[in-house]
Amino acid sequence: MNNPFLNAGKILLPENKKAYFISDIHLGLYPYDKSSQRERVVVEWLDLIKKDAGVLFLVGDIFDFWYEYRKVAPRGFIRFLGKICEITDSGIPVYFFTGNHDVWVFDYLSAETGVKVFLNPLEIAINGKNFFVGHGDGVGPGDTSYKLLRKIFHNKILQFFFSGLHPNFAFWLGHSWSKHSRYSKGIFEPFHGKDKEFNILFANEYIKTHQIDFFIFGHRHIAMEIQLDGSSKLLNLGEWIVGNTYGEFNGTEMKILSFPAFNNLGKEIRIIKL
């Protein structure tokens, strides 16, 4: 069976260093004062983890809407982007995966911040453990309407015509679409069970022909650690609109943690473990 996903080789973490994973921050999501507060919390987290980070994975929907014109980049996110520059400048590699909200990342982030941008999931070995990392949108059976929409968003001709819109109108349109998409579905989505979650179904099928220790996804806004068939595990990173959860790999073990222990509503963060 041919593997349609990129293999990014191997990473050997320096002694006492860790791999960190974060997704679904949705910087720029209305209301913008809440987004600004969220950005400061994320920067605080980045300051904390940079002390022992060997590699950082930004696993999609970091921005609630992103589009790069040839001479125009999105306004805002200066604290976050500055901190990412600081991290890459220190020699820590940062892998950026596009999500369904920030699908239109081209060359600005890689040129200005030094991140490595990936449009699709990839396999990568870290300290001898095989990881499958991707945002998780469009992976697995079903969800045909979204998969069609994803193809439209990736269409080069439609991107060309969108670039012809004035940036003020284009960003208003993008943020309006994104706001409606998020709030119509709700910040939280229900867990459908191991036998119905698309990513879990995909992972259990994928390990029939590929040796994967950890599947790392975002997208679902549900923090979870799921034991798959055999010894493989699937971990969903959750979200940072309320929950502030992330993934940590210490060289041998992979787990979901929260920053801090309570969410933005003052409630203990729930991590589904099955």
pLDDT at 270: 80
pLDDT at 260: 75
Are the beta carbons of 28 and 175 closer than 8 angstroms?
A: yes
Are the beta carbons of 135 and 100 closer than 8 angstroms?
A: yes
- H helix runs in 90-207, sequence order: 108-113, 144-153, 156-163, 167-185, 198-206
| Cα separation, 206 vs 48, whole angstroms | 35
pLDDT at 18: 96
pTM of the predicted protein model: 0.84
Q: Does residue 1 fall inside a structural domain?
A: no
> pLDDT, tens digit, for every residue of 35-85?
888 899 999 999 999 999 999 999 989 998 776 777 777 777 899 999 999
Q: Does residue 8 fall inside a structural domain?
A: no
Q: Does residue 6 fall inside a structural domain?
A: no
Are the beta carbons of 75 and 36 closer than 8 angstroms?
A: no
User: In terms of Cα–Cα distance, which of 147, 148, 226, 233 is closest to 192?
Assistant: 226
| Cα separation, 61 vs 225, whole angstroms | 20
> pLDDT, tens digit, for every residue of 167-182?
666 666 666 666 555 5
| Placement of tokens 């975002």 in the chain | 218
Q: What is the CATH number of the domain that holds 57?
A: 3.60.21.10
- Domain count for the chain: 1
Q: Does residue 5 fall inside a structural domain?
A: no
For residue 206, give its domain range. Answer: 13-273
Give me the residues of the chain with pLDDT under 70, please.
Answer: 1-8, 67, 140-155, 159-164, 167-188, 261-268
Q: Does residue 4 fall inside a structural domain?
A: no
pLDDT at 49: 95
pLDDT at 2: 46
Q: Does residue 71 fall inside a structural domain?
A: yes
Q: Does residue 211 fall inside a structural domain?
A: yes
